Every structure is written in C-alpha cells, then in structure tokens.
Amino acid sequence: MAVIVQKYGGSSVADTTKLKVIANNLSKRIKEGNKLVVVVSAMGKTTDNLIRTAKEITENIVPRELDMLLTTGEQVTAALLSIALNDIEIKSKSLNAFQLEILTTNDFNAARIRNLKAEKLKTLLNNFDAIIVTGFQGITEEGDITTLGRGGSDTSAVALAAAMDANCEIYSDVAGIYSADPRIHPTAKKLKYVAYDEMLEMSSLGAKVLHSRSVEIAKKFNIKLYCGSTFSDEEGSYVVDDYLEQPSVTGVSSMDKQTQVTISKLPLDYTIVHDIFKSVANHNLNVDMISVISNTTLNVSFTIIEDEKHHFQKALSEVLQDLPKLNIKYNSGYSKVSIVGIGMKSSSGVAAKYFDALKNIPVKLVTTSEIKISCLVEESYKDRAIKELIKMFEL
Amino acid sequence: MKVIVQKYGGSSVADPEKLKKIAEMVAAVKSEGYGIAVVVSAMGKTTNSLIELSNSVSKDPVRREMDMLLSAGERITMSLLCMALNDLGVEAISLTGSQAGIITNDRHNDARVIEVRPIRVQDEMDKGKVVVVGGFQGVSYKRDVTTLGRGGSDTSAVALAAALNAARCEIYSDVDGVYTADPTLVKEAKHLPEISYQQMQEMSTAGAKVMNSQAIQFAKESGIIIYARSTFKPGSETIIKTTKSGQTKGITSVVHENDVVRVILSYKNQAKDFNDLIKTLEEKQVTIKELNVAEAQSDEINSKASFVVSYKNVYGWENLKERLQERFKENIEFDFNLGALSIIGEGLNRDNETLLTSMSILENINVKVYGISTTSYRLSFLVAGKDLLKGVKAIHKRWIEENV
C-alpha cells in the first residue's frame, strides 16, 4: 500500500464542479492501489472574502480570531470533497488540525508546525481510502486554532508527507515549475527537475509555485515533491535533492513592491549599523538586499517590502532619534529580478553574461549568493529585464 | 460572579452591522459586572448556502461530513463577534463547541448533548473575558464534530447556562418571545409574557420554531429560567419557567408545522417489513412522529403502520424516499402536501369537548382532517398543507380570541 500526499490549491477547488472532478481523479488513483492523504485550501476567493468581512467590523483584527475565522474556509472544502468522495463510494473522512493534532507555535497568523503525529493518520488509512485534511492550519498546545500564513497549505502537505514518509504532489492551475512566469512570458520552458535549493531561492524571490517553508521541510526530510496541473494530464515538475543536467541558470523570477531605504552620511561608526538592524529585527521586520558603503561617512541602503514602510519608519526613528539631521530616503516602485541555478556554483562567466543582458537597464542594487544573482530595477523595467535574461540564458 | 448566557439567532447576526450592535449590547451587560457567555448561530442564510453546496456534490451527503461543513457557519459568526467586541475595548475569546466542552453522542446532524465540561469557558470568564461560543455544535467522544439539529443553538445556550450555573439564559431572535400562534402569519396572535416549560416543550415538538425542544428539556431539568426577547426591539419578553400547576388552564396556543409527509406501510410480515423500515429510518436518523401501528390478527388482511416525518429537516430525503419506494413498491405510500395543526393547553383530553368543537370548526370551513392524535397537553390534526393557515386562523379565533 503506497501512501501519497496530495495538495489542491484554492483555484483547483473553486467550485463544486471542480471538486467532483477531483473526486473522480482521486478515485482512479485509489483504484490503482494507493491510499491518499489530500490537503485542501479554501475555495477560490473564500479567504479574501472572509478578510473583507472582518475588515468591515474593524481595521484592528485580533490575530487569534482571524485564525478562527479563516480556518473555516478549508473546513468547508474538506467536508465537501469528502462528501463528493463518499458519493462515489470512496471511503473517506475529513480531518481538521484539531482532530489531527497538528501542533504549532502560538504565533497566530504565521504559526510554525512543531509536531504532528502520523499514527492517527496511519490507523485511519487502514479503514479509509482517502483522508481529507484542512490545509493551512494547526493548533497550539492550549487547543487554539492557528494558521501557517499565506500559502501555508503547501507546508501542511509537505509536513504530512514527511511524517508519513510519502511522496508529495502539489496540484494547482499551473502545470509545473517554469523558467519564468508563463502567464507573462509564454515562451518560458517547463522544468522537469528543480533542486530544493533552487526552488527555495525562487520561492523567496517571488515565484509563487510553492511556499518556501514547504520546500525547506521537503529538503530537510528529502521528500520528493511533484508540482502538476489539477485538470490536465500534462507531466509537471519534480523538486528533488539533486539532478544530473544542471544548466548554469535554471530560471528567472521577480518580486514587485520593493522599496529601497537609503540612510546616508552616517558617522563612521559601525555600532550604528548594528543598532539599525537590531531595531528592525526587534520589530520583526525583514530586510533584503543590503549595501553598506564607507569612505568618510557611512551610507547604508537596503530593500524592504513596500507594505512595511510604515513599520520601518517607526523602527528607524527609534534608533536614530539622536541623529536628527539624518537623511533617510524611501524610494518605492522597484522590482527585484533574480536568476537562479545550482549550476552557477560550477560555471564561470555568469555575472558577465548577466550584466551584458542588463546593460541598457539602470540597476539600483545587486546582491548575489552561490546560486543566484538579484538586482533591483524600477518596476517599469522589470519585464524588459526578464526578457533580456531569458534571451541571454536561453530560459 | 453572576453569569448570564445569551444566545443570538441567525437573523440577529446576519451582517457585520448587526454584529457591531450586538457587541454594544454585550458590552453594556458586561459593564454591569456579569460574567457573560454568548452563544451564536450562523449568519443569516449561511447554513442554507452550505447545504446547497453539499447538495450539488451529493444527493445523499454523509452525515459526519455535513456536520464538519455546517459547523463552519457558527465559527465565522463567533470570531467576527469577538473582533467587534475587542474593537470596543472588551476582551473576548471565541470557542468552538468542542473547545467549550459541549460533548454529544455520535448521532450526526441530530446529536444529543450528553455532558458539558465548560472548563475553558470558566477559565476565560475568570480572566474577565466575554466568551463567545459557536452554537449548534459539539464534539463526540470520537472527537468528531457533531451538530445538534435544527434550533440546536438554543440547546447549546441552555446546556451551557446549566453547566455554568447561570443566573439566567437570554434567547434573542427577531421575535420578542412566544405568541399564541405564529405572529408572522396570524396577526391576531397574542404575546405570552410567561409560559411553563411543559407547554413550551409541547409547542416546540408540535413545530413552533421559536424554541428548540431539547433546550427546554435542559432548562426544565436544571431550573434555568429562559428569557425570550427580540434583539433589536427591547421591551417585551416571554419568561419560560416552572409555573405552579393549575395556574395555566385551558388552551394557550395554536401551533402548526408545514411540510410534513405521512408514510403508510401495508405489510404482512412485521419482522421483515415494518422493523426493516423503522431500522432504515433510524440509520438515516429520521425522527418519526405520531406512529400508529394496526397489526392484523389474520393473514387475510394486511397490517398497517403510519407515521409522519418533517421531511424538510432530513438531508437526502429524496434519495431515501426513492430507496424506500424501490424496497416496498406499492406497499408504501407517501402522503405529501400535509400540514399539522396542534392545539396546546392543559387537560385537553379530560373530555372530548375541545376535540369535537375543533373538528366542527374545521368542517365548517371545509378543512378536511386526515388524522388526529391527542395527549393531555396537545391535540393535533393532520390537514392539507394548503388548508393549514386557514385552519390555524379559525381554531385560534375560537380558542384564543373568543375565549376570554
């Protein structure tokens, strides 16, 4: 008996007609001799609608209650899919995080999974062919419901696969992982294999195929991930530890809504740099591309997500209040464009080709790692930059 | 600390604006120093929309999953109400039926509350928080989510009130309590400032939607006094409590129930046919009423059994009906388009006068009676659905309006 963990995203379960199609697909897999654990997201725009209703009541939403509210979405999908399966004589049962005891930290809205017991699932699979699990959610030790943050259903699925030592299949309306966003760049190639490290970079760089934490877990437990299309038989992509043919650059991804923060003419004192980033960390804020330039004074520049600008202003004013004449600039409307490839480690000349491709595009900031190069450009240059990179690296 | 349990029904919590108003009401009571648990139903038509969704994937949806599905409705309301309360500076926490310790048997869709262990409710209340509990739902000993059937939020509220040893239980809806007939249909209906548990229970069983009958049973057992009020029109109320016997006399109300079907089975072999039918209905958790069995003494004639079912409350009724028709062929009949009209009072079968008079009233207005059943608190008539309202009005006129 092979156990497979599957996950269906919001657009795949958007209406009951789609749920019935999924039920039939599951039935085929079960008849081939598999037992299925199926993780589902909320239907279509349910989560957004619930958030909108909450905002009609207050702008200041209590995180615990938001999680209580949002987790109803997945419960509706799970129950309906189980009803659809039972209707075609497949023995199935839906379980929420409470019943499955998916223990998380008590960081409401962005909890992390601490522990989940596979025993209950294993026992249930003796009597049922499919267990439908509500994605995106967990419970605290006190028994309060938490959510894992946007895209958290991927994490639920991979965590379950790790606990069950099973393969994990992630289904969405995209047929796999592409070298660039296929909706904007239709010539993008579908990748048969992507390495965990590449996928991690791509997820955190803005490719929305997989939640990056789910890839971290997959990497940690060496879970083979498959990303495919819900409603077509087209073969998808595999996310694996390593694969043989590694081009130097595998894909290009981008992330919008970047703001560049520049603090110039700081006194030449590195403890200030430390204080700045300590304050930012204390406020639980993330900075991305960082550059520190020193000559007679210090210039510190880094990128943040536009939506968090307000929080940064607060954090920086706390630490820099003794230096009132300081010039802090916030430039918004940037995109980060990145190329990723584990082959980069063993090839030379990638940077040269990269800057050759971008020679006519004003680049504001650049950062690199062993397997990626990122640059910050104005949003209006984004598509052009991606196109040039696709051409240069034959993506 | 004195504890009050409040319950708000679906129309009272239908939209965010109403929830904000309720939050203000709760905050006002809280500021008087009470501990408060608020039980809420699903918002407006949420439950119906969820049922429609389930019908579009299955004609006969599995019951366990229906409970999983429907219980989402109350969770939406309770979290939103907590947000509204917190917005007013009142600390509040929402708890599901399961978190509130409402433990039921595993009869899905129509579960019975076995025990309430409100440990968490009590803890949070002691911390000074308003506790908002999802009505209508509980958890079985198998840890499955269960629901308590139609009007089950009333049961949640009263059961919780009993377990918390509450000073009272306030049930808020769009009506300011109990009337001598459904006030939306009979405009002459009179408001009842007070009614006994016993009579209220009879009314609920006979189809009055104002209060769930298991809820009244709990209140009766634990002596919790229920105040039935209107959410947005304060002023009048009905108090449901023990009244001294002999205090209420004669007829208190006329209750009706739409959409009932009478099932008639004709059979030769009781063990094979009749028992089988009842077993099938029990498996599907269909509540039957007014069961009547006429067992034949000779093999020459068929035995007959009949009973009525409020089929609108049965998920997958059409499917079940088809199965029964296949199984029993021409020996089973379904008498649709019926309604039940009940007279509620005390000592109704002491003599036959009420019965005879009522029958002649119905006869005079050409309402044919298809079945009668009586208890000492209730006289019920089965009539054609189209005649139901006409009958209720005539009976109400004679026994309530003219009977001063």
Share of chain B above pLDDT 90, in %: 78
- State which residue of chain A sits closest to B145, comparing Cα positions: A99
Both A352 and A289 in a single domain? yes
Nearest to A62 by CA among B88, B24, B129, B86: B86
Task: Give the separation between CA B136 and CA B42, rounded to whole angstroms.
Answer: 9
**Tens digits of residue pLDDT in A84-106:** 999 999 999 999 999 999 999 99
Residue A395 has pLDDT above 90, yes or no: no
B247 pLDDT band, cuts 50/70/90, is low
Task: Give the separation between CA B400 and CA B188, rounded to whole angstroms.
Answer: 9
Scan for tokens 């700045």, then name that residue: A276
Both A195 and A228 in a single domain? yes
ipTM of the complex: 0.89
Report, as an integer, the average pLDDT of A296-319.
Answer: 89
Both A293 and A192 in a single domain? no
Report, as an integer, the average pLDDT of B147-160.
Answer: 94
Nearest CA-CA distance, residue A1 and chain B, Å: 26
Residue A296: its pLDDT value, please? Answer: 87
Report, as an integer, the average pLDDT of B71-98.
Answer: 97
Residue A136: its pLDDT value, please? Answer: 96
Q: Which residues of A touch B138 (CB under 8 A)?
A: none
Both A281 and A181 in a single domain? no
Residue A359 has pLDDT above 90, yes or no: yes
**Tens digits of residue pLDDT in B362-389:** 999 999 999 999 888 899 999 999 999 9
Instruction: State the CATH number of the domain containing residue A293.
Output: 3.30.2130.10
Q: Which residues of B touch A80 (CB under 8 A)?
A: 53-54, 57, 65, 69
B197 pLDDT band, cuts 50/70/90, is very high
Q: Which residues of B touch A93 (CB under 8 A)?
A: 64-65
Q: Which residues of B touch A87 (CB under 8 A)?
A: 57-61
User: A204-213, B38-47, B170-179: lowest mean pLDDT where?
Assistant: A204-213
Q: Using a CB–CB cutoff of 8 Å, tell me whether B101 touches chain A.
A: no
Residue A374 has pLDDT above 60, yes or no: yes
Report, as an integer, the average pLDDT of B333-343.
Answer: 94
Nearest to B98 among A62, A75, A98 (CB): A98
Both A150 and A43 in a single domain? yes
B150 pLDDT band, cuts 50/70/90, is confident
Q: Using a CB–CB cutoff of 8 Å, tell me whether B333 touches chain A.
A: no
**B215: phi > 0 → left, psi -120 to 50 → alpha, else beta; which?**
alpha
**Last residue of one domain, picked from the residues A244, A276, A292:** A244
Nearest to B20 among A57, A84, A144 (CB): A57
B404 pLDDT band, cuts 50/70/90, is low
Instruction: Please say whether the beta carbons of B349 and B375 come within 8 A.
Output: yes
**Tens digits of residue pLDDT in B32-59:** 999 999 999 999 999 999 999 999 999 9
H or E segment to which residue B262 belongs? strand B251-267
Residue B224: its pLDDT value, please? Answer: 95
Query: Do B53 and A80 count as a contact with CB atoms less than 8 A apart?
Result: yes
Both A210 and A353 in a single domain? no
Both A202 and A152 in a single domain? yes
3 state DSSP class of B320:
helix
Query: Do B69 and A69 count as a contact with CB atoms less than 8 A apart?
Result: no
SS (H, E, C) chain A: CEEEEEEECCCCCCCHHHHHHHHHHHHHHHHCCEEEEEEECCCCCHHHHHHHHHHHHCCCCCHHHHHHHHHHHHHHHHHHHHHHHHHCCCCEEEECHHHHCEEECCCCCCCCEEEECHHHHHHHHHHCCEEEEECCEEECCCCCEEECCCCHHHHHHHHHHHHHCCEEEEEECCCCEECCCCCCCCCCCEECEEEHHHHHHHHHCCCCCCCHHHHHHHHHHCCCEEEEECCCCCCCEEEECCCCCCCCCCEEEEEEEEEEEEEEEECCCHHHHHHHHHHHHHCCCCCCCEEEEECCCEEEEEEEEHHHHHHHHHHHHHHCCCCCCCEEEEEEEEEEEEEECHHHHHCCCHHHHHHHHCCCCCCCEEEEECCEEEEEEEHHHHHHHHHHHHHHHCC
How far does CA B93 lie from the centroid of its chain?
27
**Last residue of one domain, picked from the residues A209, A244, A279:** A244
Scan for tokens 């330039």, then name that residue: A293
Task: Give the separation between CA B249 and CA B236, rounded to whole angstroms.
Answer: 23
Beta strands per DSSP E along B21-118: 35-40, 92-95, 102-104, 113-116
Residue A230: its pLDDT value, please? Answer: 94
Both A15 and A119 in a single domain? yes
Both A235 and A356 in a single domain? no
What amino acid is encoded at A81 in this protein? L
For the sheet containing B145-147, what is the strand order?
B113-116, B102-104, B137-140, B145-147
**Tens digits of residue pLDDT in A102-126:** 999 999 999 999 998 889 999 999 9
Burial of B350 (0-12, 13-18, 19+ CB in 10 A): exposed
Query: Do B60 and A62 count as a contact with CB atoms less than 8 A apart?
Result: no
Using only C-alpha atoms, what is the Rg of chain B?
22
Instruction: State the CATH number of the domain containing residue A11.
Output: 3.40.1160.10
Query: Do A82 and B53 count as a contact with CB atoms less than 8 A apart?
Result: no
Q: Which residues of B touch A23 (CB under 8 A)?
A: 57
User: B116-120, B229-233, B289-293: lowest mean pLDDT where?
Assistant: B289-293
**Last residue of one domain, picked from the residues A196, A228, A244:** A244
Nearest CA-CA distance, residue A53 and chain B, Å: 7
A22, A62, A102: best to mutate for the B interface, most B CBs within 10 A? A62
Report, as an integer, the average pLDDT of A289-309.
Answer: 90
Identify the bridge partners of residue A374 per DSSP, sorted by sequence position. Answer: A338, A367
Both A149 and A256 in a single domain? no
How far CA B287 is from CA of A50, B70, B137, in Å, comes to 36, 20, 19
B285 pLDDT band, cuts 50/70/90, is confident
Q: Using a CB–CB cutoff of 8 Å, tell me whether B271 touches chain A.
A: no
How far CA B333 is from CA of B305, B308, B328, B336, in Å, comes to 11, 12, 9, 9
Task: Give the separation between CA B175 and CA B169, rounded to whole angstroms.
Answer: 16
Enter the pTM of the model: 0.88
Report, as an integer, the average pLDDT of B127-136.
Answer: 97
Nearest CA-CA distance, residue A143 and chain B, Å: 7
**Tens digits of residue pLDDT in A223-270:** 999 999 999 989 999 999 887 777 889 999 999 999 999 998 888 888
Nearest CA-CA distance, residue B91 and chain A, Å: 10
Task: Give the separation between CA A215 and CA A203, rounded to whole angstroms.
Answer: 8
Both A204 and A284 in a single domain? no
Query: Do B79 and A66 count as a contact with CB atoms less than 8 A apart?
Result: yes
Q: How many CB atoms lie within 10 A of CB B299?
A: 8
Both A25 and A170 in a single domain? yes
- Total domains in chain A come to 2
Range of the domain at A193: 2-244
Query: Do A68 and B72 count as a contact with CB atoms less than 8 A apart?
Result: no
Nearest CA-CA distance, residue B25 and chain A, Å: 15
Residue A207: its pLDDT value, please? Answer: 64
Residue A267: its pLDDT value, please? Answer: 85
B246 pLDDT band, cuts 50/70/90, is low
- State which residue of chain B sits closest to A51, comparing Cα positions: B80
Question: Which domains, and CATH codes, for chain B?
Answer: 3-247 (3.40.1160.10), 254-401 (3.30.2130.10)
What amino acid is encoded at B343 in this protein? I
B287 pLDDT band, cuts 50/70/90, is confident
B248 pLDDT band, cuts 50/70/90, is low
Residue A206: its pLDDT value, please? Answer: 63
Look over chain B and give the mean of its residue pLDDT values, rounded to a whole number.
Answer: 93
Provide the b/e sequence for B263-274 (b: ≥16 CB within 10 Å): bebbbeeeeebb
Q: Which residues of B touch A58 (CB under 8 A)?
A: 83-84, 86-87
Query: Do A83 and B72 count as a contact with CB atoms less than 8 A apart?
Result: no
- State which residue of chain A sits closest to B70, comparing Cα positions: A76
Residue A52 has pLDDT above 90, yes or no: yes
Q: Chains A, B: CB contacts under 8 A, how many? A: 114
Nearest to A374 by CA among A384, A383, A364: A364
Task: Give the separation between CA A63 and CA A53, rounded to whole angstroms.
Answer: 15
Residue B139 has pLDDT above 70, yes or no: yes
H or E segment to which residue B341 belongs? strand B332-345
Task: Give the separation between CA A44 and CA A40, rounded to whole angstroms.
Answer: 11
Stretch 35-54 of chain A: residues touching chain B, C-beta under 8 Å: 50, 53-54
Query: Do B53 and A98 count as a contact with CB atoms less than 8 A apart?
Result: no
